[in-house]
Structure 1
Amino acid sequence: MDSLIATFLSLLLSETGDRTQLLAAALALRFSNNRAVIAGFGLASLANCLLSAFAGSFVDEWISQDPVRLFNGLAYFLAGIAMLAWRRNLDLLTRWKTGPFLTAFLGLFILQFGDKGQFIIGANAAMAGHWIFPAIGGWLGTIAAVLPAIILKDKLAKLLPLKRIRIGAGLLFCAFGLLQALRAWHFI
């Protein structure tokens, strides 16, 4: 159950102000169909969370606890670096001729695939031993971060200091990742 809460909070922070949130808001603006965008996003996010947690559960079976802890630390550290780094422009999928559900599903699935959130979910699943809890936590955290963007659209940026949240969370993730790495190497 700890992995559910940890993954929920991690994904909530890592997706706030991130490209997934921005694309979901842009698609909601473009299509004016929140239900279809929410359904497409929710299904895409669920598939990515299940996939990454299931894959992470195999890591736990193959290697001992210290390398798993190091993998966890690296996932968080690199997620923190990604949150602090410059981001390239986001493709708003305006050339896609599909409807709101399919555009949201495919666009957000592709965008989230291989993203920092997947590595965090996989690393937490490797540490937890039960892959379903990090999968659920990751999915709920992603939903909690992105759903307000779909509903509020461009107003979210006026309500929350997204840049400060990203910088603070990025620094926190870097510190936690380093701490996990130091534990894996038995420095602390």
Structure 2
Amino acid sequence: MDAFLTSLFAMALAEFGDRPQILCAALAIRYGRVSPVLWGLGLATLCNCAISAVAGSAVHQWISEDPLQLFYALSLIFAGIGMVAWRRPTDLLDDWSLGPFWTSFLGLFILQFGDKGQFILAATAARTDMALFAAAGGWVGVMIACVPAILLRRRLADAIPIAKVRFVGGAAFLLVGGILALSAWGIV
């Protein structure tokens, strides 16, 4: 259960106000249909979560506990930096003419691949050796962050101070990651 809850909360926080959430809202506005964008998001996220969990599970077998904790700490630190630092604008895929499902699926799969959330999920799976629970929690976390953007579209940005949430979330990741890194080195 640790892997499920850890990845759920970390992924929900990491994806809030991030490019996948923005792209989901933009695609829902562009196509005016919720269902294909939801299915595209769900399948793209499931594929990325599975890839991350399998990679993390493989890493778990190769290295010992302290380096695994350091790997997890670094994934949180880099996620925190990514949340508080400048980021490039999201490509809204205006040139893509694949239809709502395929544009959503492929666009979100590519956008999420190699993103901070994928490293957090891989590190969670590696640290806990519960790849299935980490993948499930990560999938639910991304869905918690992105489904409201699809359903509410622009109203989500108007209702919630996204910049402040990203700053506080980034600071939390930096703090927890820093403490875990110091612990992995035996300093704390």
TM range (shorter): over 0.9
Determine the structure 1 residue equivalent to 2:180: 180
Q: Following TM superposition, by how much is the alpha carbon of 1:115 offset from its aligned partner in structure 2, in angstroms?
A: 0.2
Instruction: Give the distance between the partners of 1:12 and 1:86, measured in 2 at CA.
Output: 20
Determine the structure 2 residue equivalent to 1:49: 49
Query: Map of 1:83-162 to 2, 5 A cutoff?
Result: 83-162=83-162
Deviations 1:66-113 (A, max 9, x none): 100000000000000000010111110000011000000000000000
Please state if 1:65 is matched with 2:100. no
Q: Following TM superposition, by how much is the alpha carbon of 1:187 offset from its aligned partner in structure 2, in angstroms?
A: 0.7
Instruction: Give the distance between the partners of 1:98 and 1:113, measured in 2 at CA.
Output: 20
Identity %: 49
- SS of the residue 1:135 aligns to: helix
Unaligned runs of 5+ in 1: none
Deviations 1:117-162 (A, max 9, x none): 0000000001111101110000000000000000000100111111
Determine the structure 1 residue equivalent to 2:12: 12
Instruction: Give the distance between the partners of 2:180 and 2:61, measured in 1 at CA.
Output: 19
Determine the structure 1 residue equivalent to 2:33: 33
Instruction: Give the distance between the partners of 2:90 and 2:140, measured in 1 at CA.
Output: 24
Instruction: Give the distance between the partners of 1:8 and 1:119, measured in 2 at CA.
Output: 14
Instruction: Give the distance between the partners of 1:78 and 1:59, measured in 2 at CA.
Output: 19
Amino acid across the alignment from 1:102: W
Deviations 1:43-82 (A, max 9, x none): 0000000110110011110000010000000000000000
Unaligned runs of 5+ in 2: none
Q: Following TM superposition, by how much is the alpha carbon of 1:182 offset from its aligned partner in structure 2, in angstroms?
A: 0.6
Q: What is the aligned residue count?
A: 188
- SS of the residue 2:130 aligns to: coil
Q: TM-score, normalised by structure 2?
A: 0.99
Instruction: Give the distance between the partners of 2:127 and 2:176, measured in 1 at CA.
Output: 14
Q: Structure 1: which 4+ aligned runs deviate by more than 4 Å? A: none
Amino acid across the alignment from 1:84: V
